[in-house]
């Protein structure tokens, strides 16, 4: 049998864990023309969730275009990715002939060079040499096509913009351009998601930002323990391996029900059970955790090496403590953190990098389950 758990990539189908409530909410909002911004901690399954919703929406005749802005570092690359997403998501398969694609984009200030790839898909290349205003107008034209397609085909359209925070590094003026276009697209729903939560919240929640209150926030909650327990048990049973209830409880206690980290720990636990022909017990889970930390060692070391000595001290304090009262004199003295102002600066950086997260009650913790374990292990060695 193959391992029934997946991590480190977008999951769908049988590998997708629950979130029926969020799925229903996203699908309903898109069908009603609502713009959305999906917000959650890193590696919480935002992309998997939204792409699962997209599959359901396509079955309900919604035309869906998806673009990952992380792969679009400059305006010409953004235009190319956007053209490809529109072509693939909004043009029916039987119309995707080279001439039709050329006609579809003929009104753009800069027309793309269209290349038919061996797999039958198309790539679009925009010459980076035209004046800046031409490529700006081309991006605007591509975004305006969405409403035209919705009107011409009498279909609802959804544009999914993944890693949307990258728009600020492409051009800080783009959010304003997008708002001016999107706010008039009544038959188009725009779904924004990104891996840097503080930047996404800033873009849509701060009054000074162009996208302020443009999209309804969808905050991913923790998956209920009973739902996650059922998922883990079912996946083990379906693959011919047994896991005792106490082991499921231990897995969820370690990962705190973080979707990615739970799948990763389950992956290693299943592999041990399969290799040794045993049931997964709490002892096997601890063995799996040790293997996970070994596998994550290089990634954690790379992050650690980039941190200043004081930021490392803050991480150690949070990893071995409870993250409450971090600015108090007692906490700072106990952990050798120095002045409160220095702690504040380090925390600000760590939060901006999504290494640390803060609760509304002022409690801080490492966002990454396994980084937390790795740092605690480092501190005790």
| Tokens describing residue 314 | 């803050």
**What are the phi and psi torsion angles at 261 (to 5°)?**
-70, -30
Q: Is the pLDDT of residue 42 over 90?
A: no
Q: Is the pLDDT of residue 132 over 80?
A: no
- Per-residue pLDDT, averaged over 63-87, amounts to 91
CA distance 381 to 378: 5
The CB density around residue 325, as the number of other CB atoms within 10 Å, is 14
Q: Cite the residue boundaries of each domain of the chain with CATH code 1.10.10.10.
A: 307-380
Instruction: Name the percent of the chain lying above pLDDT 70.
Output: 94
User: Which residue is it, tokens 């979130």?
Assistant: 19
pLDDT: is 252 or 39 the higher one? 252
- pLDDT-derived band at 43, boundaries 50, 70, 90: confident
The residues, ordered by sequence, that sit 6+ positions from 294 with a Cβ below 8 Å of its Cβ are none
Residue 2 in 3-state DSSP? coil
CA distance 9 to 74: 25
- With 0-12 CB in 10 A as exposed, 13-18 as middle and 19+ as buried, what is 148? middle
CA distance 96 to 378: 55
- What is the sign of the dihedral through the CA atoms of 147, 173, 80 and 41? negative
| Nearest in space to 81 (alpha carbons), one of 97, 98, 92, 69 | 69
Model pLDDT, residue 268? 97
pLDDT tens column, 142-168: 999 999 999 999 999 999 999 999 999
- pLDDT-derived band at 25, boundaries 50, 70, 90: very high
Report whether 61 contacts 176 (CB < 8 A): no
Q: Cite the residue boundaries of each domain of the chain with CATH code 3.40.50.300.
A: 19-219
Residue 150 in 3-state DSSP? helix
- CATH code for the domain defined by 307-380: 1.10.10.10
CA distance 126 to 77: 8
Half-sphere exposure at residue 201, Cβ-oriented, CA atoms within 13 angstroms: 10
Residue 163 in 3-state DSSP? coil
pLDDT: is 201 or 92 the higher one? 201
pLDDT: is 99 or 245 the higher one? 245
Mean pLDDT of the chain: 90
- Per-residue pLDDT, averaged over 107-132, amounts to 77
| Tokens describing residue 42 | 């890193």
Model pLDDT, residue 99? 62
Q: Is the pLDDT of residue 134 over 90?
A: no
- Per-residue pLDDT, averaged over 28-36, amounts to 96
Q: Is the pLDDT of residue 92 over 90?
A: no
Report whether CATH 3.90.1480.20 matches the domain 19-219. Answer: no
Instruction: Name the percent of the chain lying above pLDDT 90.
Output: 67
The residues, ordered by sequence, that sit 6+ positions from 64 with a Cβ below 8 Å of its Cβ are 54, 57, 58, 89, 157, 158, 159, 160
Model pLDDT, residue 146? 95
The residues, ordered by sequence, that sit 6+ positions from 121 with a Cβ below 8 Å of its Cβ are 88
Overall size of the chain counted in residues: 381
Q: Cite the residue boundaries of each domain of the chain with CATH code 1.10.8.
A: 225-302
Q: Is the pLDDT of residue 352 over 70?
A: yes
Model pLDDT, residue 104? 78
CA distance 322 to 319: 8
Model pLDDT, residue 45? 81
**Domain boundaries 225-302, CATH class:** mainly alpha
Q: Is the pLDDT of residue 128 over 70?
A: no
pLDDT tens column, 189-234: 999 999 888 889 899 999 999 999 999 999 887 788 999 999 999 9
- Per-residue pLDDT, averaged over 348-372, amounts to 89
Model pLDDT, residue 145? 93
């Amino acid at each position: 049998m193959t391992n029934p758990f997946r991590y480190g990539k977008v999951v769908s189908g049988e590998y997708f864990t629950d979130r029926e409530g969020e799925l229903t909410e996203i699908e309903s909002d898109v069908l009603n023309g609502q713009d959305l911004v999906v917000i959650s901690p890193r590696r919480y399954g935002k992309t998997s969730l939204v792409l699962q919703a997209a599959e359901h929406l396509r079955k309900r005749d919604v035309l869906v275009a998806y673009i990952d802005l992380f792969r679009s570092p400059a305006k010409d690359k953004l235009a190319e990715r956007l053209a490809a997403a529109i072509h693939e998501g909004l043009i029916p398969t039987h119309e995707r002939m080279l001439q039709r694609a050329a006609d579809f984009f003929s009104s753009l200030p800069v027309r793309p060079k269209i290349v038919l790839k061996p797999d039958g898909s198309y790539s679009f290349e925009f010459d980076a040499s035209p004046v800046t205003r031409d490529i700006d107008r081309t991006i605007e034209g591509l975004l305006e096509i969405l409403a035209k397609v919705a009107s011409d085909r009498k279909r609802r359209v959804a544009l999914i913009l993944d890693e949307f925070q990258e728009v600020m590094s492409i051009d800080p003026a783009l959010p304003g351009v997008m708002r001016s276009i999107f706010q008039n697209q009544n038959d188009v729903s725009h779904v924004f998601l990104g891996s840097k939560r503080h930047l996404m919240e800033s873009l849509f929640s701060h009054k000074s930002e162009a996208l302020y209150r443009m999209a309804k926030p969808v905050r991913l909650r923790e998956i209920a323990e009973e739902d996650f327990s059922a998922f883990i048990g079912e996946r083990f049973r379906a693959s011919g391996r047994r896991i005792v209830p106490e082991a499921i409880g231990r897995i969820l206690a370690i990962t705190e029900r973080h979707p990615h980290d739970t799948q990763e720990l389950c992956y290693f636990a299943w592999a041990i059970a399969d290799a040794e022909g045993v049931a997964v017990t709490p002892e096997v889970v601890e063995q799996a955790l040790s293997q996970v930390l070994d596998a994550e060692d290089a990634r954690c070391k790379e992050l650690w090496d980039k941190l200043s000595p004081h930021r490392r001290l803050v991480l150690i304090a949070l990893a071995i403590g409870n993250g409450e009262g971090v600015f108090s004199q007692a906490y700072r003295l106990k952990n050798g953190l120095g002045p409160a102002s220095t702690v504040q600066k380090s925390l600000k950086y760590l939060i901006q990098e999504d290494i640390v997260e803060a609760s509304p009650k002022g409690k801080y913790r490492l966002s990454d389950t396994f980084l937390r374990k790795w740092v605690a292990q480092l501190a005790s060695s």
